[in-house]
Structures are given as structure tokens and as C-alpha cells.
Amino acid sequence: MSHQIALESSDVTFACDPGQSVLDAALKAGIELPYSCRKGVCGNCVGGVAQGEVTGMGGAATTSEACGPGQVLYCLCTPTSDVVLRPASWRRVDPAARKTFKAKVHSHELAAPDVSVLRLRLPTGQRAKFQAGQYLQILQDDGSARSYSMANPPQENDGVTLHIRHVPGGLFTQRVTQLVTGDLLTIELPFGHVELAPDDLRPIVFVAGGTGFAPVKSLLDDMLKRRVQREITLIWGARTPEGLYLPAAVERWQKQWPGFRYIAALSDAPAGPGGFAGRADDALRSLGADLNGHIVYCCGSPAMVTAVRAAALAQGVPPGDFHADVFVPGPQTATPVQAPL
């Protein structure tokens, strides 16, 4: 049976159907709670339950290390009674704001042996509305979808730029490597709740792993266009220098912000001048024991985000000032194949 969900200290109520998560029920009702990966990894959807009971979807755990006392992961919970939620934040959204486009491949370049930079153009006269740091879904003919962050800032809204890593055996990887100018893709956007307040000028540390650089690039380019002045550190982690595939973007930020600090963290190769030999979480620790008063935004694999979160919290970053976006691989072929380069 359906249960009613209410938001504490508001007049907002909505129904949650059997087998539906608290987060999905809210989104269906036009209420956006903080979220990103929707798989219980990033911790963005953490919030409280003031009254009532919830259980994990399909037996999933309702909490993670991102949860505080009395908090759960809304994306993995479904109510077993009427409940009152105490979310960190919420807002009403217009369901019509999410649009579907037939986008055309404008260019496809290899930025690294295993990374495609795909630039898509929307139909003439159409514009994509999104916030820096949000993501889109590429809709497949079989009904499945693949999620990728926009790497361009929202001011460049006649198209989107995606950074797509080639995953060995990945179903969509095989299609991506064959895309050429003029090919059409069906995309839907925007998705994701970005909690970085545009008027927050506290020092910020971006930590990106591999193509987790894409949403970071969108956020930094947006800040550049808005002429934001704040203390910025970027830690970009990869195994080898080839994984740091867009040095020109970093050079542009260094020119715009003379105090911009960039740390290239290489786990499987010697660090160059100004670089760091080791993982991204260790590079974060190298900044010092006290990061209280800093914002940390991390984007990468689940393991990387977990490690960076632990380091940030140990360095005094309050849980509410740690924001994450997690890249979770899509399904693979039954028999893994080597992705073409």
C-alpha cells in the first residue's frame, strides 16, 4: 500500500508507492531533495526521519558512513508507515524543466587513449538549461540510459560537452568509440542536485579522479565566467600523466586566478614539478591537518569518494561541507571485450 510522506515544518505532502524510494517519490511529486548517484554511494541524499519508519529497498542498507545520528539514505529507503522527513534542504521543481533532445555529434576527439571528449549540438534555436555540476542521461534504444556530467558551463547552452572514459567490456563504450560527426543521440537533462552555493566564497577544494574532472570543469568554468574570486585548490588524481587529459583548461584557470593551486596526484607514475606521488586522498591530507572552514567537492569512483570523504572529515571538514558526485560504471557485455583505443 502507498504511504504518505511529509516534510517537517512545511505543508508539503506526497505519496510513496510500494517499492518506490523516498527520493524517487519526492522527485515524482516535483520536490527535489539533494541527490546525485541514486545508488547510496555519494551520500548527498542523506537526511533525517522525524516520524515513522523506513526500510531498505530490496534489503539494502539504509545508512552509510555519510549518515549522522538519525539519518538515512533517501535513495535506498522506502516507507513502511506514513513518515515525516527532516531533509538537509529541499525545493520545488517544475517537472517540465527536464527536457529531451535529439543532439547531433559536433566533434569526437580522443583526449587520452581511453577518454573521448564528445561535443553535442542541440537542434537550431534550442537551449539546454542546467546548473554547473549537473548531469544528463543518454537514452538507448533498449530503454536503458547512461549518465554523464556536462563538462561545459551553463552559459554555453546550445550544446553539451561530455568526457567519456572507455570501460573495457562496457556496452556503451563500444558505441561511443564508433561515433562520428553527424550521428544523433537522444539526451535528457538536467539531473542531479548541486549544493555548491554560488554566493559562498569560503575556500574550496575540488578533488577529481579521472573523468570526474568533467563536472569540476563545468563548475570552475562557470566561476570563471561569473568572475568569482575565492581561494581555489584543484587535486586531479590519475594513475599516469595521460589521465590528466586537459592541461589547457588548468592553465586557463591558473592565468585567471593567480592564487589557484593545482596538484596533479599520480598513483602509478613519478610526480612532476608541483605534483604529488600518491592517491588523491593522500594529496588532500598533504594540505594540512585543519581544513575546517573549507568546502570540499569530490567526484570520481565510489572507492575514491569514500577515501576522500574519510580524509576530509578527519581534517575537520564538517559533513555538510563535503559534497560528492560518484561515477558508477554501467552494465557490461556478457563476455568482456577490449575497448578499441
pLDDT at 338 over 70: no
- 88 with 128, same domain: the answer is no
**Could you tell me if residue 335 is inside a domain?**
no
Domain encompassing residue 119: 98-191
- 210 with 312, same domain: the answer is yes
**Could you tell me if residue 336 is inside a domain?**
no
**Could you tell me if residue 31 is inside a domain?**
yes
- 160 with 255, same domain: the answer is no
- 37 with 73, same domain: the answer is yes
- 221 with 288, same domain: the answer is yes
Q: Radius of gyration of the chain from Cα atoms?
A: 20
From CA 145, how far away is CA 153, in angstroms rounded? 23
Contact at 8 Å (CB) between 215 and 151? Answer: yes
pLDDT at 38 over 60: yes
Last residue of a domain, one of 159, 191, 223: 191
pLDDT at 140 over 60: yes
Sign of the torsion angle spanned by Cα atoms 324, 62, 73, 23: positive
- 128 with 108, same domain: the answer is yes
- 56 with 119, same domain: the answer is no
**Could you tell me if residue 337 is inside a domain?**
no
**Could you tell me if residue 7 is inside a domain?**
yes
CATH code for the domain in which residue 118 is found: 2.40.30.10
Q: pLDDT of 80-124, one tens digit each?
A: 999 999 998 898 887 677 899 999 999 999 999 999 999 999 999
**pLDDT given for residue 251 in this prediction:** 97
- 42 with 121, same domain: the answer is no
Q: Span 25-47, mean pLDDT?
A: 88
Last residue of a domain, one of 191, 213, 238: 191
Q: Span 269-295, mean pLDDT?
A: 94
- 65 with 106, same domain: the answer is no
Q: pLDDT of 168-227, one tens digit each?
A: 888 888 899 999 999 999 999 998 878 788 889 999 999 999 999 999 999 999 999 999
CATH code for the domain in which residue 50 is found: 3.10.20.30
Q: Grid coordinates representing 324? A: 560528492
- 310 with 284, same domain: the answer is yes
Lowest mean pLDDT among 136-145, 169-178, 315-324: 169-178
Number of compact structural domains in the chain: 3
Find residue 125's DSSP bridge partners: none
**pLDDT given for residue 9 in this prediction:** 95
Last residue of a domain, one of 132, 157, 191: 191
95 by DSSP, 3-state: which?
Answer: helix
**pLDDT given for residue 95 in this prediction:** 67
Q: For cell 576530509, what's the residue?
A: 312
Q: Span 43-65, mean pLDDT?
A: 93
**pLDDT given for residue 327 in this prediction:** 77
**Could you tell me if residue 338 is inside a domain?**
no
- 211 with 320, same domain: the answer is yes
Evaluate if pTM is beyond 0.95: no
Sign of the torsion angle spanned by Cα atoms 62, 49, 194, 125: positive
pLDDT at 283 over 70: yes
Q: At 336, is the pLDDT very low, low, confident or very high (cuts 50, 70, 90)? A: very low
CATH code for the domain in which residue 216 is found: 3.40.50.80
- 50 with 133, same domain: the answer is no
Q: What are phi and psi of 126, to 5 degrees?
A: -100, 150
From CA 133, how far away is CA 34, in angstroms rounded? 13
**pLDDT given for residue 46 in this prediction:** 93
Q: pLDDT of 216-248, one tens digit each?
A: 999 999 999 999 999 999 999 999 999 999 999
